């Protein structure tokens, strides 16, 4: 059997600085710090400062250190932003709602689309956030709530959801160009509460609830979007989860938390473009129906804010490679 010395050789690289993207198990000598260093792949979840107001069925966008969350239950238009150290209250939405499209936009240019508004059911109203306030955007063609989303304000996509009081578990897909919505190719399998990562031309739909009442939690096959049509992939997540959180892109993503046949979970899985792997790291608090950055994060950095309870707890995912010092000279 080949060993490390056979594959990599006996020499340790002599470098003036740590490599930008070291391989797992890579060893080198840093001549500047006078230390022998090693990289090892690892991931973890850790607590973030708490929200000002606890909410569930809340939506979000942005990145871990530049997050924006909005809406939620109790019925709210409340918006909060995170700057890397604390959450602050922002201007509220014009239309209070819950279960708006998840993971759409960044903290200074976000999109709140659809949602549940009580008696009337689903809304098609869209609002855009410019870093300080919300203004009206173009209405969606189909009112829905609990839809998946990905992309940015000027090039976003949303799919699935519930069209109360009309069609349940729709397969409808729409793209947003910053001012108006256009209907595109339907999902290969209808769902709601799916989560997404990626861009308008390369999105990934993960998990969710399929058609049926009451909801049946199944290992839904993931679906790829190419900017015009969806393709069902042969793979599904390892656990039948819904209402979880995501970070990453179409071929490199992490899916964490959510609910499995009702009970909430802290389990996290990673996607490498061909298969799912269970992570040893789990969420600090098991939860579902929380805000998450979705496709506007990387696979090594994501967040969860709020969730069932409702709760004001927030936490971050860190999948970066830690580097350890073995010895110093």
The domains located in the chain, with CATH, are 4-40 (no CATH), 44-318 (2.120.10.80)
- The better pLDDT of the pair 310, 29 is held by 310
- Which of 12-21, 71-80, 144-153 has the highest average model confidence (pLDDT)? 144-153
Lowest-pLDDT choice from 205-209, 228-232, 310-314: 205-209
Predicted confidence at residue 264, as pLDDT, reads 95
Predicted confidence at residue 271, as pLDDT, reads 93
- The better pLDDT of the pair 97, 41 is held by 97
Predicted confidence at residue 5, as pLDDT, reads 43
Q: Which is nearest to 147 in space by CA: 199, 70, 209? A: 209
3 has pLDDT over 50: no
7 has pLDDT over 50: no
Per-residue HEC secondary structure of the chain comes to CCCHHHHHCCCCEEECCCCCCCCCCCEEEECCCCEEEEECCCCEEEEECCCCCCEECCEEEEECCEEEEECCECCECCEEEECCCCEEEECCCCCCEECCCCCCEECCEEEEECCECCCCCECCCEEEECCCCEEECCCCCCCCECCEEEEECCEEEEECCECCCCCCCCCCEEEECCCCEEECCCCCCCCECCEEEEECCEEEEECCECCCCCCCCCCCEEEEECCCCEEEEEEECCCCEECCEEEEECCEEEEECCEECCCECCCEEEECCCCEEECCCCCCCCCCCCEECECCCECCEEEEECCCCCECCEEEEECCCCEEEEEEC
22 has pLDDT over 80: no
Predicted confidence at residue 204, as pLDDT, reads 95
In a 13 Å sphere around the CA of 150, the CA atoms on its Cβ side amount to 31
- pTM here is 0.85
Q: Mean pLDDT over residues 229-235, rounded? A: 93
Q: Mean pLDDT over residues 39-44, rounded? A: 73
What's the whole-number average pLDDT of the chain? 88
Instruction: Report whether 181 contacts 157 (CB < 8 A).
Output: no
CA angle 274, 275, 281 (to 5 degrees): 135
Predicted confidence at residue 255, as pLDDT, reads 95
pLDDT in tens, 254-289: 999 999 888 999 999 999 999 999 998 999 999 999
- In the block, tokens 């000027």 appear at 154
Predicted confidence at residue 223, as pLDDT, reads 94
Q: Mean pLDDT over residues 285-309, rounded? A: 91
């Amino acid at each position: 059997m080949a060993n490390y010395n056979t594959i990599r050789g006996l020499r340790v690289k002599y470098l003036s600085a740590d490599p930008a993207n070291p391989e797992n198990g890579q060893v080198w000598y840093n001549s500047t710090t006078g230390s022998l260093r090693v990289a090892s792949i690892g991931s973890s979840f850790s607590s973030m400062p708490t929200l000002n107001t606890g909410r569930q069925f809340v939506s979000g966008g942005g990145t871990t250190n530049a997050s924006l969350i909005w809406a939620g239950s109790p019925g709210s238009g409340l918006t909060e932003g995170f700057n890397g150290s604390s959450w602050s209250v922002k201007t509220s939405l014009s239309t209070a709602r819950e279960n708006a499209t998840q993971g759409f936009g960044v903290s200074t240019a976000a999109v709140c689309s659809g949602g549940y508004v009580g008696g009337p059911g689903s809304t098609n109203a869209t609002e855009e956030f410019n870093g300080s306030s919300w203004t009206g955007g173009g209405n969606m063609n189909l009112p829905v709530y609990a839809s998946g989303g990905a992309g940015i304000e000027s090039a976003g996509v949303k799919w699935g959801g519930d069209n109360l009081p009309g069609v349940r578990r729709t397969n409808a897909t729409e793209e947003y160009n910053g001012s108006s919505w256009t209907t595109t190719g339907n999902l290969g399998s209808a769902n709601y509460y799916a989560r997404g990562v990626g861009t308008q031309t390369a999105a990934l739909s993960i998990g969710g609830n399929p058609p049926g009442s009451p909801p049946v939690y199944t290992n839904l096959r993931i679906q790829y979007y190419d900017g015009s049509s969806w393709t069902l992939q042969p793979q599904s997540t390892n656990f039948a989860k819904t209402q979880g959180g995501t970070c990453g892109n179409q071929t490199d993503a992490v899916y964490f938390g959510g609910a499995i046949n009702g009970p909430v979970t802290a389990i996290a899985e990673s996607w490498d473009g061909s298969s799912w792997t269970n992570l040893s790291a789990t969420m600090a608090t098991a939860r579902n129906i929380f805000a998450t950055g979705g496709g506007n994060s990387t696979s090594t950095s994501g967040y969860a804010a709020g969730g069932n309870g409702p709760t004001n707890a927030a936490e971050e995912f860190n999948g970066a490679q830690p580097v350890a010092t073995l010895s110093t000279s």
